[in-house]
Structure 1
């Protein structure tokens, strides 16, 4: 029988937890997952921001069901809100444990929360090091453990973490951030190896330069902003919504044989050698 390719990216009946859904890439990921039929918990330490994301996704929402028929409204087939806000501080391991125990079983876990301190190594403080590692790596570890276990117990699930081009290409001032993003890739790959036999897929997305609150410092400096734009093959920055397709893909059955992978969404940044175009 031919495969149902028309619905390959549909997520009907699945519950997605998006950590960092209050803004930027996390917000767009939550909206995109809901648009493809998932019920989404929008988790963020900033509850009003998570509420705004949920409101954006629920207000006058046009979607389609698994048969492609247009639907309109704020609920799934069981009457649940398509997007619901949830306050979560991932720096608190107990809060993560509580979320895993109290939320409905999670089929898709996406986490985007990260921080960066742009300083050269000799200027870095121990407190700054600990702060970046705590959010970028330790919190990811706690999320994978808490929700990976329940996925493994149920025999299915997709975990999607956000790495960065800085996991492979670095520049001065990015030492600890780059180290955490490289470490996250290996953490996710190991989780893919360990959880794969239980039907759980684990992958990383590595964005290039994206206009988010985390990169506001660069955007405010026009020469710096322009230099980054010129480095990519497309000569521009990404907007957060341009990462949403990668999230939907890895969450869906379209990626049923994809695990332990790093999907670069970087406009060719990591493929291009150097910053000089030789003369023809």
Structure 2
């Protein structure tokens, strides 16, 4: 092992699906370590913007791809050639009590968070299996482990995601494919702006972590870079918590509704 390069990703082709917010930071971080990037997003402009950031370090392409369109995603995957690293960040949430959920809201959250992951793995993993190597990394959440009012359906999808990844790790490991999750805590992104705009709610979330603050999007990048390459060559079926100690100290807050 050359320890001076163990975190480098030179010569690897990384595909990131979901390139806004945290995804954009991950794209740039992987590129900075030498990976060639393909940025996929349901919003083609978002994918192009992420690829532009990556191109400062390494070659990068972009395309529109919707994880809910299984056939379309498979077509995109087939046209990309060999893929060494697949990172999945696409997810959604509807914050409300379970009994207030509509059937459409339930299907939307479960569909993107679970079926989307299933579709993506089905599109990209067979190529990795055929070559005998690859790393699949999906963003889960602290909600896979701990929940609060209004997060029930989202938490169920993230817990289900982790179990799906563990099963894939068991099934694909003999073929040299590693599968892991990165579980963020509360992160400063546009999707959490509503929470941070409520001073009590935002402060409560900050105080529930051991570090007493929210994460910045770029603080998720190191975990993904680690899992992508040789530094994590014997790591699979794991969930790496990047939560500022939230789950260690059992943080909880009952948010306002309405």
TM-score range, shorter chain: over 0.9
Residues 1:224 and 2:201 are matched in the alignment: yes
In structure 1, what is the Cα distance between the partners aligned to 2:189 and 2:71? 28
Q: Where does residue 195 of structure 1 map in the other structure?
A: 172
Gaps of 5+ in 2: 254-258
Q: Which moved more, 1:24-33 or 1:192-201?
A: 24-33
Q: Where does residue 84 of structure 2 map in the other structure?
A: 107
Q: Where does residue 5 of structure 1 map in the other structure?
A: 3
- What are the equivalent positions in structure 2 for 1:164-175 lying under 5 Å apart? 164-175=141-152
Q: Where does residue 66 of structure 1 map in the other structure?
A: none
Q: Where does residue 14 of structure 1 map in the other structure?
A: 12
- What are the equivalent positions in structure 2 for 1:49-128 lying under 5 Å apart? 49-59=46-56, 61=57, 82-128=59-105
Q: Where does residue 159 of structure 1 map in the other structure?
A: 136
In structure 2, what is the Cα distance between the partners aligned to 1:184 and 1:190? 10
In structure 2, what is the Cα distance between the partners aligned to 1:222 and 1:113? 27
Give the aligned CA root-mean-square deviation in angstroms: 1.3
Gaps of 5+ in 1: 62-74, 76-81
Q: Which moved more, 1:257-266 or 1:98-107?
A: 98-107
**TM-score for the superposition, normalised by structure 1:** 0.88
In structure 2, what is the Cα distance between the partners aligned to 1:19 and 1:138? 14
Q: CA deviation digits over 1:61-103, x for unaligned, max 9?
A: 4xxxxxxxxxxxxx5xxxxxx1211111111111111122111
Consecutive aligned runs of 4 or more in structure 1 exceeding 6 Å deviation:
none
- What are the equivalent positions in structure 2 for 1:223-262 lying under 5 Å apart? 223-262=200-239
**TM-score for the superposition, normalised by structure 2:** 0.95
Q: Would the aligned equivalents of 1:116 and 1:214 in 2 still touch at CA under 8 Å?
A: no
Q: CA deviation digits over 1:172-217, x for unaligned, max 9?
A: 0001100000000000000000000000000000000001222122
Instruction: Tell me: CA distance 1:4–1:178, structure 2 relative to 1, closer, same or farther (3 Å).
Output: same
Instruction: Tell me: CA distance 1:8–1:123, structure 2 relative to 1, closer, same or farther (3 Å).
Output: same
Instruction: Tell me: CA distance 1:6–1:43, structure 2 relative to 1, closer, same or farther (3 Å).
Output: same
Q: Where does residue 145 of structure 1 map in the other structure?
A: 122
Q: Would the aligned equivalents of 2:148 and 2:252 in 1 still touch at CA under 8 Å?
A: no
Residues 1:31 and 2:24 are matched in the alignment: no
Residues 1:180 and 2:178 are matched in the alignment: no
1:274: Cα distance to partner? 5.3
Q: Would the aligned equivalents of 2:25 and 2:217 in 1 still touch at CA under 8 Å?
A: yes
In structure 1, what is the Cα distance between the partners aligned to 2:60 and 2:90? 19
* Bigger Rg, which one: 1
1:273: Cα distance to partner? 3.7
Residue-pair matches, total: 253
Q: Where does residue 72 of structure 1 map in the other structure?
A: none
In structure 2, what is the Cα distance between the partners aligned to 1:126 and 1:213? 26
